[in-house]
Structure 1
Amino acid sequence: MTKLRFGVTYALLFVAIGGIGVLIYQFYNNDTPVYAYQMDESIMLQDLSSRSYVSIDYSDKPTVLLFFTSWCPYCNEDAPKIVELHDKYKEFINVYGINVIQRDELSEVIGYVEKHNIDYPVLLDESNQLYTNYGSHGFPSMFFITPKGKTIDAIVGSADMAYIEESFLKLMN
């Protein structure tokens, strides 16, 4: 009986360690695309400031799409980081803030933009379609897109400045 418990304990331990190893490998494996969605056409969304519909232009230079809501604490935590990186790299990278307006109030979005002094375009995903196309993973969600429309990196949730900047630099190269 003792040998049976001993064997079962080691078998369970072996399976647990193997499972953790697989998770770690998947987390750090950067050889596969992050998300399969490919931007192959122009996306039209309503601009927060002008209320007109504008096209997301990812063909002239690399583009960062940042999905956010005004009530999300992590979005509020990362907003100053994105503003700083946009100011630093705006000659090389387009940044679009995309509010998932179905989960927010317009007045709150305006207040969020003013509070964080956001000067990159903020667009409203009224139908939730673009957010859905990217998998609806949480807030904030950043997708790093090449001029050919391929998503090469993504960050879901809050991240430190160095990690976000590393993704900006990866996109520029």
Structure 2
Amino acid sequence: MVTQTRRNITVFAVAAGVLFVFLYLIVLYTKTMTPVEVGGLAPDIQTKELSGESFSLQSLRGKPVLLNFFTPWCQPCIEETPDLKAFAEKYRNDIHVVMIDRGDGVGLVERYVTQYRLPASVVVLLDENNKWSGPYGVTGQPETFFITADGKVVSHLLGPLTESQMLTYAKAAGMNVEERGRTP
């Protein structure tokens, strides 16, 4: 009888321990897999730039950020590229423009950057395992986020944007400039 009682207590303790671990893993998974929402703090992206340099999104604090998820073979991304390039050139001192490839590898990304002559002010990131799409809730491309100087996501946009749309959203993210290129 005592042996049966001990066995029952042991089984109950093991079952309670397994349940606790299972619930802990569910909570942990939910926290790490819940994508950022507009109004939330942008997850810190830590990866490599195309140049091989280490990158951290948090290091860009102090200026707004346009964060663009893309692939070099995506037709809407290619259609958006001239506007993104023009925006990056025009406002390079006022906003960080960061493009993050969704797992295509160095060769394809280098060809894209060269072919479309992206300015040096554009930071191009490699996400070889498409690790950063999840925390941002990215399901396609292009998808663009505008982030304030203190790291808050103010917009998440699906599909290609025009230069004027980029300007509008950048101003909403706190970019404070007058439009350039217009004659008085």
Q: Normalising by the residue count of structure 1, what TM-score does the alignment of the two structures yield?
A: 0.71
> Residues 118-151 of structure 1: CA distance to partner in whole angstroms, max 9, x if unpaired?
1211011233232111102310011000122110
CA distance, structure 1, for counterparts of residue 79 and residue 89 of structure 2: 17
Who is 2:165 aligned against?
163
Counterpart in the other structure of 1:35 = 38
Asked if structure 2 preserves the Cα contact closer than 8 Å seen for 1:58 and 1:146, the reply is: no
Separation of aligned partners in 2, 1:105 and 1:44: 16
Matched positions, count: 137
Runs of 4+ in 1 over 6 A off after TM superposition: none
1:52 Cα deviation after fit: 2.7
Pairwise CA distance, 1:36: 5.7
1:128 aligns with: 130
Q: Counterparts of 1:39 and 1:168 in 2: how far apart (Å)?
A: 15
Q: Which runs of 5+ in 2 are unaligned?
A: 1-35, 177-184
Cα contact 2:62–2:150 (8 A) shared by 1: no
Q: Distance in 2 between matches of 1:62 and 1:80?
A: 21
- Structure 1, residues 63-105: CA drift from partner, whole Å, max 9, x if none? 111110011000000111111101111111011111111xx24
- Which residue of structure 2 lines up, in the alignment, with residue 98 of structure 1? 100
The runs of 5 or more residues in structure 1 that have no matched partner are 1-32
Within-5 A mapping of 1:110-129: 110-119=110-119, 120-129=122-131
Root-mean-square deviation (Å): 2.0
Please say which structure displays the higher CA radius of gyration.
2
Of stretches 118-127 and 62-71 in structure 1, the one that deviates more from structure 2 is: 118-127
More deviation, 77-86/57-66: 57-66
Q: Secondary structure at the match of 2:137?
A: coil
Who is 2:46 aligned against?
44
User: Quick one: distance in 1 between partners of 2:139 and 2:45?
Assistant: 20
C-alpha distance 124-161 of structure 1, shift in aligned 2 (>3 A): same
